[in-house]
A and B are shown apart, each in its own frame.
Chain A
Amino acid sequence: MPPGNLGGQRRHNLRARAGILGAVRRFFETKDFIEIETPHRIPVPIPESHIDVIRSDGWVLHPSPEICMKRLLSAGFDRIFQICRCWRAGERGSLHLPEFTMLEWYRTRADYTDLMEDCEALIRVVAAAAGIRGRLDRRGCLVDLDGPWERITVAEAFSRYGGIGAEEALKSDRFDEIMVCAIEPRLGIERPTFLMDYPASLGSLARAKAGEHQVAERFELYIAGLELANAFSELVDPVEQRSRFMEENENRRRAAKPVDPLPERFLADLASMPPAAGIALGLDRLVMLLLDADRIDEVVAFTPEEL
């Protein structure tokens, strides 16, 4: 659909989106974060079992800016944020675009609980800027943003909503299916929910929880059943990180997916990275939530199908 034919609602949404972006930037400025830009095209991605990249002239379009942002922490930056486009092959649905906008921020000398507080402050401020006071109305479900937000562990969520233990679900390869079908729709309904402490095997780049090594300090934020952000207390042990990367690549090999070499410079810099926490938030989805849009299509200028 050419821009001349953009529906009135879509035009309104794009204006509101610009306002939301402005409010996000102002929030980070007042918190002394600096906005940085890192290359979108990189030699190799972080190895991930279930994230497929889009290739570009021998390199890849980054599926997240995390590699370069964490290297900047090693280089001495303390508080950084970035708003950038990211690419993931084959992801298209009412909540997915293969090219989408990510907001990532990183803080040194912090852990995932600090990021939960950041999320609460950020989303309250941005919602207020979008004209939402106290309660966010999504498809008739009223989410209370002002009160305390819920924190629930993955183990609790599985026993409460999944009807099966998280470990058992992992063993029978049903973790994601139960998460999507039975758990996610119940999260963040009355108030936003931090789903925290993932099984160690899903720790990705998160460090193990102190005194509870079977889980990782990772959380995902849900509002009205929508997955909005993924956060880690960053793992800063290059040896452990390398072995996790090799496991992810082994999973890819078994699934007959392309396998890239490891991001060696990232692993090298990890040795000098201070304790830190980092988070990636889907900005299009935040806009969807604040504008009560049904589909991600309604909050972007063009979908791939319209190009």
Chain B
Amino acid sequence: MYTVADLRKGLKITIDGEPYIVTFFEFSKPGKGQALYRTKMKNMINGTTLDRTYRSGESFEPAHLEERTMQYLYKEGDHFCFMDNQSYEQISIGEDAIGEARNFLIDNLEVDVLLFRDKPIGVTTPNFVNLRVVKTDPWIKGDTTGSDSKPATVETGYVLRVPPFIEEGELITIDTRTGEYSTRVKG
């Protein structure tokens, strides 16, 4: 169990059976008044935020979270199938828990899956992934519109802005933290 003295940014606790991460913490105390521990927390499953003020003597259940390395196998309907690299066990994760990671999932990609009470609640992809461009307009030399980027669709269906010289069939590196084009993969 945690007490109010353990509260700090980044602490993960369970409230009403769901995991929350403390995103803001402030100790407040009127000179002659009670100590108050003001927090903002984010639900680690659905991202909703919560403001809570605690007092001395209150305690919290830690949120036991586990991170496992898994390999992406395939998509089935609106579920994504992964294999645990250690146990070879296969699990299926719904779109809600996948979040932005869906844009970067290609076969055999290794990802970190966050589990709360054995239930997957989040997927973290590597910071950089290489994806093939499947659709983009050809580069017109002498283009005078002054545009320094154009839209491109990659093999996962994700659309992003790329430099004009990128052509269909090329492999590009995407920064998954921003979702932006990073470099062209030569060869």
Are B31 and A180 in contact, CB atoms less than 8 angstroms apart? no
Are A177 and B29 in contact, CB atoms less than 8 angstroms apart? no
Are B33 and A230 in contact, CB atoms less than 8 angstroms apart? no
Residues of chain B whose beta carbon lies under 8 Å from any beta carbon of chain A: 5, 26-36, 38, 53, 56-57
Are B33 and A179 in contact, CB atoms less than 8 angstroms apart? yes
CA distance A91 to B27 in the complex (A): 8
4 A-B pairs besides A179-B30, A280-B31 with CB distance below 8 A are: A90-B35, A91-B29, A96-B27, A180-B30
Could you mark each residue 210-224 of chain A with 1 if its beta carbon is under 8 Å from any beta carbon of chain B, else 0? 000000000010000
CA distance A209 to B180 in the complex (A): 66
Which B residues lie within 8 Å of A255 (CB)?
57
Query: A177-B53, A181-B53 are known contacts. Are A92 and B36 too (CB-CB below 8 A)?
Result: no
Contact check: which of B29, B30, B33, B56 meets A93 at CB < 8 Å?
Answer: B29
Contact check: which of A51, A94, A181 meets B32 at CB < 8 Å?
Answer: A51
Main secondary structure of the interface of A (DSSP, over half): mixed
- Top-4 shortest CB links A-B: A93-B27, A176-B33, A176-B34, A180-B28
State whether the Cβ of A31 lies closer than 8 Å to any Cβ in chain B. no
Which A residues lie within 8 Å of B35 (CB)?
50, 90-91
Query: A93-B27, A96-B27 are known contacts. Are A48 and B53 too (CB-CB below 8 A)?
Result: no
Contact check: which of B27, B29, B38, B57 meets A181 at CB < 8 Å?
Answer: B38
Are A96 and B29 in contact, CB atoms less than 8 angstroms apart? yes
Query: A177-B36, A180-B36 are known contacts. Are A92 and B27 too (CB-CB below 8 A)?
Result: yes
Query: A177-B36, A180-B38 are known contacts. Are A93 and B31 too (CB-CB below 8 A)?
Result: no
